Amino acid sequence: MPTSALVGIDIGASSAKGAAHDPEGRLLGSAEVAYRYDTPRRGWAEADAAGWWRATCRILRTLARTVRPARIDGVAVTGQAPTLLLVDAAGRPLRPAILWLDVRSDVEADELASRVGPEGEAIAGNRVHAYFLGPKLAWLRRHEPARFERPATILQAHAYPILRLTGARVTDYSSASLAAPLYDCRARAWSPAMCAALGVDPAWLPEIKPSQAIAGRVTAAAARETGLREGTPVAVGGADFAASTLAAGVTEPGEACLMLGTAGNLMMPLATPDFDTRLINSHHVGCDRFLAVGGTLSGALQEWFRSIAAPGVAFETLDAEAAAVPAGADGLRLLPYLQGERTPVWDAGATGAFVGLSLVHGRGHLYRAVLESVAVSFRHCAEVAAEKNARLREVVAVNGGARSAVWRQILCDALGVPLHYVPDGATAPTGGALLAGIAVGLVDGVEAARRWRPALVRHAPDAARTATYAALLASRASLYPAVRQIA
C-alpha cells in the first residue's frame, strides 16, 4: 500500500465521486455513489443533503479498501455550485437543498435586480439571476419564512460534508462568488449592503477561507461513520467547476478548461476581477486567479438527439456520420436553446430550432448541426471574454462529450485555438486531492496539476472551418431573436 494518500470528494447533482492520489498524482483508487435529485414542480430541483453525507461515507469506506485510513494525510470536498442549504444550530438541514439548476426564483431575481441596481452587480461581479444564491434566498424568505425563525447557517454543497466531518461551517472564495449578490468580489468578503438588501443576518453566513486552507480535522464521530482516522486534516475545497479546471492544469490567463456534461462550461482564468456580467464570474481555487465562465445548458444535446433520432445507436456511429459532413452541415443550423440558456444571453424562455432543413440533409447533417451549435455557443462566450482582453491561446478539454474526437475537432475549429484533451483524471475529485495536498504541505502548489494530468491528445484548428463557425455565430445574432419572437 502507498505510504501517503490524498483524497478528493465531489458532491455532484446526481452522484458523488471520490479519488485517492499519492502526492505525485498517481491514482490509487476511485469510487462513485449515485443518488437522485427531486423535481417536485417545473423549474424546481432539490436534493436531500443527508444523501450527500451517506454517499461521502460510502466513498471513503470504499477507498479504504485500497488506501489504509492511517495513510490518508488529507481530504478535500468540492461540489456543485451555487446550491442553497440551510442548517440549524445543530447542523441539521432545515429543508432540502435548492440546486443550481432550480429557476423558481425568477420573479424574486427581477425584483432584487431592480432593488440593488447596477451597484449590486458591480459589488458581486455577477448579474442578479435565479441561477445565483441571492434570489433563491429571496424566494425562501417569501414562501417559507418560518425557515428563518431560528438560527441557521447558509451552506453550499461542498460545505455540508465538511460540517459533518469536522464541525466547521466554512466555504471558499469560488463558492462564495456564486452567492451573488451577497458576496463582494473585490473585498473578498460578504457585503454588508447586499446582506441588508436581502434581509440576511451576516451571522448566518459561513466563514470564507482559501480552498487550500484547512477547515478542520475529522472528529471522533465522523471517524466512526467514515472509517477515516480521527484528526485527519480536511481542506476547504470549493466549487466543482473550479476544481476541475485546476485538475486540468489551467491556472493562467489565455488558457481555458472546457467541460462537456449536462451543462457545458468554458472556464477562463483572469489575473484581475475585470468581469463582464454576461458571463459567470468566480475566484479560482488554490491560487489568486479569477475565472470567467461561459456556461451553456446545451452541453448534453447529443444525448437528447440520440434519444429521439437514433435510439440504441452508438455515439461512434453518429460521430462517423457527422465526420462525413462538411463544416456548416451544408447550410443546416441548430439554435441550441432547448431549455433556455445561461451565458451570455441569460434567457430562461429561449427555445431552439433547426433552420435550413431540406431533403439533402440526413441524420449525419442533423447530428453535426447539434455538435456545431454547442461549439458556436462556446465561441460566443469566448468572444465576450475577449472584449475584456481575456483572449484564448489554448483550451484543455475534459470529461463527458470531449471523449468524441469528432466533437473535439469541431470545438477546436470553432474556438480557433489549439485544443488539448485530457483522456482521464482531470476531474473535480482530483482537483480536491490536489487542494488537500497543498493544504497539508505534500504538494508544492497549483503548478503540480500539470504534472498530475495524463498525456494530452492534441488538436489544431483549421482556418477555413474557423471562418465557417464565425459566420454561424454572426448569423445567430438575427436567428435567435427571430425564433424568440415566434416561439
Go through 142-162 and write b for each residue having 16 or more CB atoms within 10 A of its CB, e for each that does not. Answer: eeeeeebeeebbbbbbbbbbb
400 grid coordinates:
463527458
Q: Which residue shows C-alpha cell 469536522?
A: 166
Identify whether the C-beta of residue 10 lies closer than 8 Å to the C-beta of residue 399.
no
- Count of other CB atoms within 10 angstroms of residue 66: 15
Between strands 97-98 and 290-296, the pairing is: unpaired
Query: What's the CA gap between 374 and 263, in Å, rounded?
Result: 11
The pLDDT tens digits along the chain (487 residues) read 568 999 999 999 999 999 999 999 999 999 999 999 999 998 899 999 999 999 999 999 999 999 999 999 999 999 999 999 999 999 999 999 999 999 899 999 999 999 999 999 999 999 999 999 999 999 999 999 999 888 789 999 999 999 999 999 999 999 999 999 999 999 999 999 999 999 999 999 999 999 999 999 999 999 999 999 999 999 999 999 999 999 999 999 999 999 988 789 999 999 999 999 999 999 999 999 999 999 998 878 999 999 999 999 999 999 999 999 999 999 999 999 998 899 999 998 899 999 999 999 999 999 999 999 999 999 999 999 999 888 999 999 998 889 999 999 999 999 999 999 999 867 999 999 999 999 999 999 999 999 999 999 999 999 999 999 999 999 999 999 999 999 7
List 256's β-bridge partners, or say none. Answer: 395
Task: Check: CB of residue 69 under 8 Å from CB of residue 228.
Answer: yes
In the chain, the domains with their CATH numbers are 5-242 (3.30.420.40), 250-421+456-487 (3.30.420.40)
DSSP symbols for 89-123? TTS-BSSPEEPTT--TTHHHHHHHHHHHHHHHHHH
Question: What residue type is 343 in one-letter code?
Answer: T
pTM above 0.85, yes or no: yes
Pairing of strands 280-283, 152-155: unpaired
